[in-house]
Amino acid sequence: MRKKTGLARLLELAGERKGLLWLAAVLSTISALLMLVPYASVYFIVKELLEHAANPALADGGYMIRYGSWALVALLGSLAAMYGGGMASHIAAFRILYGLRMKLATHIGKLPLGWLNGTSTGSVKKTLDSNVEKVEGFVAHQLPDFVQVVVTTIVMISVMFYLNVWLALVCLVPIMLGITAQVMMMRSVDKGNSIKHYYDYLQQMNGSAVQYVRGMPAIKVFGQTVHSFRKFHADMVSYREYCVKYTDQFQNGFLLFKVLLSSFAAFALPVGVFLLDRNPGSTAFAAVLLFFLIMSPGLTAPMFKMMSIASSLRDINEGVKRIDLILAEEPIKETGTAQSPSSYSVKYEKVSFSYQAETSATRKEALSNISFEAKQGKVTALVGPSGSGKSTVASLLPRFWDIQQGKISIGNMDIREMQTHDLMETVAFVFQDSFLFYDTLYNNIAVGNPDASRGQVYAAAQAAQCHAFIDKLPLGYDTLIGEGGVYLSGGEEQRVAVARAILKNAPVLVLDEATAFADPENEYEMQLALKELMKGKTVIVIAHRLSSIVDADQIIVLNNGEIAEKGTHEALIAKGRLYSQMWEAYSNASQWQMGRGGVSV
């Protein structure tokens, strides 16, 4: 079965029933037909006046007033039908927008983080925003216009053939020549996949723009400008040059199309004069010729609208392809049944993992044959040099990525047999870089458990040592964070993240150096918050400050993606190997100080 494309595929993706669109089409058709009644009325009134040109007093005044009244009624009816069609098409458009964005957002939420890391944020944003937004414009405005254009064109051409075949055929000449020129131009442009390249350049520029804004602090610190931010500048220049080239490809064909469609009178007048010369006394033909000279240029606007709609359809078709590319990405596989572990010890068994695909020529394993058990109610610390695989080990537990070999289990249940929702309810995280939403502090904490009462949120904040600084803010827990609100320090942000985790109260906890941003004054408060959070849980700590894990029940030392050694702090120091060397380096670094004469240790 052939896969749908363009607008049909959009409707399929959004799951939108076509009832509203059919209603919009019917009302637009009625509006287009009624809109032609005033022109027909003008024709019959002019015809009546021409037939009594020698003595206008003989013209039937009632006849003309009747046609004038019909024109007014038809105009009002056309406007009412246009309004109804517009309402129906707008409702359908916003439903489609909602359906598409929900479908995309839901699907992206199920994709592994590896896909997000390898995809430009700007390109994802453009697909979710610009590409989907174009659907609203097309369905709400251009789809009713398309129906009106088609109905108006068919009716006008039919009337022209009814009135005079020769003049109608002559009026078709510029239409056919203009359409032929436009089709040839479009085929020439499409051969080079121009619309695809246009969107590629636009996506690259959007991605670079996001990086430029995010990197603004560094740009300002080093006195740089957009010109020295080479990637963004180069992408803007590339986009500009391609747009100029893209426009040049349309120039000649569009000008020919415009000239031809603006020259109906140039084609119809010589033929009309020739036919009138053969029958100079025919007032009926004179009225017909007058009708053609007045009405035939009216086909110009529908033809231009049709060209605009065709261009929009090409844009939408390319947007649909990009939406389908995201939807084609394989989500993390879900088990068919909901299962929960009976206990909460975490076990890694011969786990190997690589960020590159198995077919990649540069594939390198980030982890190799990792095996250890983090027992329930105990603290297991992961340490090692930068790039040793500490964060990778922790990221595999919530299935941010899926392992290629081995098994990770919670309470002897393979995490791949747990539904994502159940797994996320089982594991809580406090990352080194805490992310707060542009929302109130209360809602940021309540993310940990949206069903929690206000009292539970306050209790979690107090346990995380947040309450004191929140209480001093202008609106307390209802203070906005970020744009339009206040900004918190790194230590305060991390305590809010700890409050989330306390509120979630998951049995397995992963801490990625949760005290990294704590200054000496509030580090003690952070330690109190973490102590409250860790009670009775299976805890895996990624440690950079070795002093923070000397009391850990088990320390796993990683090096180059492998386990170099494991044991308690005292046992590992006694071995005199990698951990002992790291401890010695850490102890020496803690004595580092800066004096007037330079650096001393």
Report pLDDT digits (tens) over 549-564.
888 889 999 888 888 8
Report pLDDT digits (tens) over 464-503.
778 888 888 888 888 888 665 577 777 788 788 888 888 8
% residues pLDDT > 90 (the chain): 2
Q: Token pair for residue 560?
A: 């180059």
Distance of CA 553 to the CA centre of its chain: 45
Measure the CA–CA gap between 491 and 221, rounded to whole angstroms: 23
CA nearest 238: which of 187, 203, 210? 203
Q: What pLDDT does residue 223 have?
A: 60
Average pLDDT for 258-276: 76
Q: What pLDDT does residue 401 have?
A: 82
Report pLDDT digits (tens) over 371-394.
999 998 888 989 888 888 888 888
Q: Which helix (H) or strand (E) covers residue 352, if one does? A: strand 346-354
% residues pLDDT > 70 (the chain): 77
**Is the full-model pTM beyond 0.85?**
no
Q: Are residues 378 and 424 in contact, defined by beta-carbon separation less than 8 angstroms?
A: no
Q: Are residues 311 and 367 in contact, defined by beta-carbon separation less than 8 angstroms?
A: no
Measure the CA–CA gap between 58 and 49, rounded to whole angstroms: 9
Burial class (CB in 10 A: 0-12, 13-18, 19+), 557: buried
Q: What pLDDT does residue 80 have?
A: 93
pLDDT-based confidence at residue 349 (cuts at 50, 70, 90): very high
Q: What pLDDT does residue 224 have?
A: 61
Measure the CA–CA gap between 29 and 85, rounded to whole angstroms: 9
User: One-letter amino acid identity for 62?
Assistant: G
pLDDT-based confidence at residue 514 (cuts at 50, 70, 90): low
Q: Mean pLDDT for the chain?
A: 77
Is residue 32 pLDDT above 80, yes or no?
yes
Of residues 427 and 211, more confidence is placed in 427
Q: What pLDDT does residue 350 have?
A: 92
Q: What pLDDT does residue 48 have?
A: 77
pLDDT-based confidence at residue 215 (cuts at 50, 70, 90): low
Q: What pLDDT does residue 229 have?
A: 64
Contacts with 277 (C-beta within 8 Å, 6 or more apart), sequence order = none
Of residues 589 and 331, more confidence is placed in 331
Write down all domains in the chain, each with its CATH number in brackets. Answer: 6-327 (1.20.1560.10), 346-576 (3.40.50.300)
Contacts with 268 (C-beta within 8 Å, 6 or more apart), sequence order = 167, 170, 171, 289, 292, 293, 296
User: One-letter amino acid identity for 161?
Assistant: F
Q: What pLDDT does residue 471 have?
A: 85
Measure the CA–CA gap between 96 and 102, rounded to whole angstroms: 10
Is residue 76 pLDDT above 90, yes or no?
yes
Is residue 448 pLDDT above 70, yes or no?
yes
Is residue 1 pLDDT above 80, yes or no?
no
Q: What pLDDT does residue 220 have?
A: 62
Compute φ and ψ for 9, nearest 5 degrees: -70, -35
Q: Token pair for residue 546?
A: 């070795």
Q: What pLDDT does residue 597 have?
A: 52
Report pLDDT digits (tens) over 44-59.
887 777 777 777 777 7
Measure the CA–CA gap between 464 and 445, rounded to whole angstroms: 11
Is residue 226 pLDDT above 60, yes or no?
no
Report pLDDT digits (tens) over 279-315.
766 667 777 777 777 777 667 777 777 777 777 777 7
Measure the CA–CA gap between 568 and 380, rounded to whole angstroms: 10
Report pLDDT digits (tens) over 166-202.
888 888 887 777 777 666 766 665 555 666 777 777 7
Q: What pLDDT does residue 107 have?
A: 82
Average pLDDT for 223-236: 67
Report pLDDT digits (tens) over 140-159.
777 787 888 888 888 888 88
